[in-house]
């Protein structure tokens, strides 16, 4: 009996510790308390190792801080000199809430004089990346969540080795959790050729630092500081549609020339310092941009210390006519969920495309748990049928936001992401055309039919939704 009383007291203490720590996120608190009841006492161990609030891996010294801020201020000044006389795009200027967010809450400035290329076909995106890397003269910077030792990964590896042997500075960052299957031999060959390599979240180190939940989900390529790539693609054969379990892989990726590249580069250099402790502020990494394009773009870096949630929320509540969303995972924050409901009830055309074939069944069931209540509110849902949908796009009237961020809690709050906000109709129209192309190969979810799904499926969705703060 004393052991039972002691165990009960320990359980109570654990529950109180979770409630006190997570009171700002009641959804997460409820999920962890549920885990405790399912796995009494032992359930606190994963909470201890996973749920610790993010703390910076490396703190800048005062001198380093001053140097980085001076470097950033110089880049901002250069970008501001190239903003057109009429300032922000008309769409933003009309919306005071959105204008306040993009000018004051986001940590990187709006840039002009950009040339943007949109890739809806992975093969074209990888071809452009490899051609740019092959043409590099001074440096190549790469940062990916997943790198595989497969046909595509070997192609990148061999080219990076070749460029390093030619005397080009080559730096590669990868996430230790996302690339946990990447063999030591792959890394060793790159290092021996002169490629500098950093691992953002080494699994063992991250485990003991209790930071396993915080992953670098960015996908970056910068060549000579003059061309930058970002979007949803990692390096692996499945992203070329070579995995038979997924088939055709539908993604959205971008290449850019112009001042936006400075901030893709800045993001890489910031991450490089976090991992390697090297503060790179030489002007050769941020050359004067030669592009005189007309695209106005804002690069948005986000993470557990600088959330993108405010921007997503504002883009949704600001819409007057349309909201189009494509995402492989749809697990909205309560505020975003309410914003979507409010928008559609106000007459906004809200359409959301999710995969028809899931890659993670538990996460997919969680996504489906939101479908019925949003269908009832008037949102139109579609399931993509041509393969696997991995594109991450939000179109709000005449603005678009796309990059590495999924429409889920992990991307909003726990992962390091990189996105771009597009203010020009040319790019927004292209993304809209791609959306409707995807719509043409998707099946709409009909509410009356969806409500007939089996009870066991509904239970799976309920269970998955309770666990959603962990996804």
Return the pLDDT at 53: 67
Catalytic residue chosen out of the listed positions 149, 349, 397, 458: 397
pLDDT at 305: 80
Strands 322-326 and 349-355 come out as parallel
Catalytic-role residue among 175, 224, 333, 434: 224
Our answer to whether residue 397 is catalytic in this structure is yes
By residue count, the chain amounts to: 471
Per-residue pLDDT tens digits for 149-179: 999 999 999 999 999 999 999 999 999 999 9
pLDDT of residue 444 exceeding 90: yes
- Out of 3.30.870.10, 1.10.260.40, 2.60.40.10, 3.30.70.20, the CATH code matching 309-470 is 3.30.870.10
The answer to whether residues 30 and 466 touch, using CB atoms and an 8 Å cutoff, is: yes
pTM of the prediction? 0.91
CA distances from 341 to 323, 324, 350 (A): 11, 14, 9
Q: Are 81 and 75 in contact (CB under 8 A)?
A: no
| Contact (Cβ atoms closer than 8 angstroms) between residue 310 and residue 101 | yes
Q: Domain coordinates of the chain in residue numbers?
A: 2-50, 62-91+109-297, 309-470
Q: How far is CA 59 from the centre of its chain?
A: 24
In angstroms, the CA 378 to CA 375 distance is 5
- Axis crossing angle, helix 334-345 with helix 361-377, rounded to the nearest 10: 30
User: 358: closest CA among 385, 318, 338?
Assistant: 385
**pLDDT value of residue 61:** 76
Q: Please indicate whether residue 390 is annotated as part of the active site.
A: yes
| pLDDT at 429 (0 to 100) | 97
Which residue, chain included where needed, has tokens 């052991």?
A: 3
Same topology for domains 62-91+109-297 and 309-470, yes or no?
yes
Please tell me the predicted confidence (pLDDT) of residue 469.
Answer: 63
pLDDT at 227: 98
414 is annotated as an active-site residue: no
Burial class (CB in 10 A: 0-12, 13-18, 19+), 20: exposed
Average model confidence (pLDDT) for the chain?
A: 89
What gap in Å lies between CA 406 and CA 313, rounded to an integer?
14
Question: Which CATH number applies to 62-91+109-297?
Answer: 3.30.870.10
Q: Which of 141, 157, 217, 460 is catalytic?
A: 217
Strand positions, DSSP E, 66-218: 110-121, 139-144, 169-174, 196-199
Question: Based on C-alpha coordinates, what's the Rg of the chain?
Answer: 23
Q: 277: how many CB neighbours lie within 10 A of its CB?
A: 11
In whole angstroms, give the CA distance from residue 271 to residue 305: 13
Over residues 80-95, the pLDDT tens digits come to: 888 876 656 565 666 6
* 349 is an active site residue: no
Residue 302 bridge partners (DSSP): 417
For 433, list phi and psi in degrees, rounded to 5: -60, -40
* Distance between CA atoms of residues 443 and 258, nearest Å: 39
Max Cα–Cα distance, the chain, nearest Å: 78
Which one of 226, 390, 408, 424 is the catalytic residue?
390
Asked if 415 and 216 count as a contact pair (C-beta separation under 8 A), the reply is yes
**Annotated catalytic residue 224:** yes
According to DSSP, the residues that pair with 399 across neighbouring strands are 396
Question: Which of 157, 163, 392, 460 is flagged as catalytic?
Answer: 392
Nearest Cα to Cα of residue 390 among 471, 312, 327, 325? 327
- Catalytically annotated residue among 72, 139, 163, 219: 219
Determine which of 33-42, 103-112, 379-388 has the lowest per-residue pLDDT on average. Answer: 33-42
Given this model, what pLDDT does residue 58 score?
Answer: 64
């Amino acid at each position: 009996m004393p052991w039972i009383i002691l165990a009960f007291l320990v359980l109570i203490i654990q529950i109180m510790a979770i409630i006190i720590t997570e009171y700002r996120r009641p959804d997460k608190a409820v999920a962890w308390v549920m885990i405790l009841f399912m796995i009494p006492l032992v359930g606190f161990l994963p909470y201890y190792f996973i749920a610790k609030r993010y703390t910076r891996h490396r703190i800048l010294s005062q001198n380093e801080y001053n140097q980085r801020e001076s470097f950033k201020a110089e880049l901002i000044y250069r970008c501001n000199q190239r903003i057109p006389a009429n300032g922000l795009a008309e769409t933003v200027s009309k919306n005071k809430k959105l204008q306040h967010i993009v000018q004051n809450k986001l940590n990187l400035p709006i840039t002009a004089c950009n040339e943007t290329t949109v890739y809806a076909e992975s093969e074209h995106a990888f071809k452009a990346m490899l051609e740019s890397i092959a043409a590099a003269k001074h440096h190549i910077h790469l940062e990916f969540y997943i790198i595989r030792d497969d046909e595509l990964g070997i192609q990148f590896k061999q080219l990076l080795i070749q460029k390093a042997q030619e005397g080009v500075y080559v730096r590669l960052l990868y996430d230790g959790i996302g690339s946990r299957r990447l063999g030591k031999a792959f890394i060793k060959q790159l290092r021996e050729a002169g490629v500098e390599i950093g691992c953002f979240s080494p699994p063992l180190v991250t485990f003991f630092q209790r930071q396993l939940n915080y992953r670098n989900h960015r996908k970056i390529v910068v060549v000579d500081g003059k061309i930058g790539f970002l979007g949803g693609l990692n390096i692996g054969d499945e992203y070329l549609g070579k995995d038979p379990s997924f088939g055709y892989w539908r993604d959205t990726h971008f290449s850019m020339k112009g001042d936006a590249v400075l901030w893709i580069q800045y993001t890489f250099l910031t991450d490089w310092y976090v991992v390697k402790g090297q503060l790179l502020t030489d002007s050769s990494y941020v050359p004067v941009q030669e592009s005189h394009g007309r695209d106005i773009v804002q690069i948005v870096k986000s993470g557990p210390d600088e959330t993108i949630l405010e921007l997503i929320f504002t883009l949704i509540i600001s819409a007057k006519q349309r909201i189009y969303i494509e995402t492989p995972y749809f697990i909205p924050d309560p505020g975003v969920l309410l914003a979507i409901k409010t928008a559609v009830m106000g007459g906004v055309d809200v359409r959301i495309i999710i995969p028809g074939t899931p890659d993670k069944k538990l996460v997919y069931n969680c996504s489906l748990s939101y479908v019925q209540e949003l269908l009832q509110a008037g949102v139109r849902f579609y399931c993509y049928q041509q393969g696997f949908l991995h594109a991450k796009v939000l179109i709000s009237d005449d603005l678009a936001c796309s990059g590495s961020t999924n429409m889920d809690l992990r991307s909003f709050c726990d992962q390091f992401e990189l996105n771009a906000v597009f203010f020009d109709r040319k790019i927004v129209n292209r993304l809209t055309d791609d959306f409707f192309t995807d719509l043409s190969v998707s099946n709409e979810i009909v509410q009356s039919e969806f409500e007939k799904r089996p009870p066991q499926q509904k239970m799976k969705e309920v269970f998955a939704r309770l666990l959603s703060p962990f996804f």
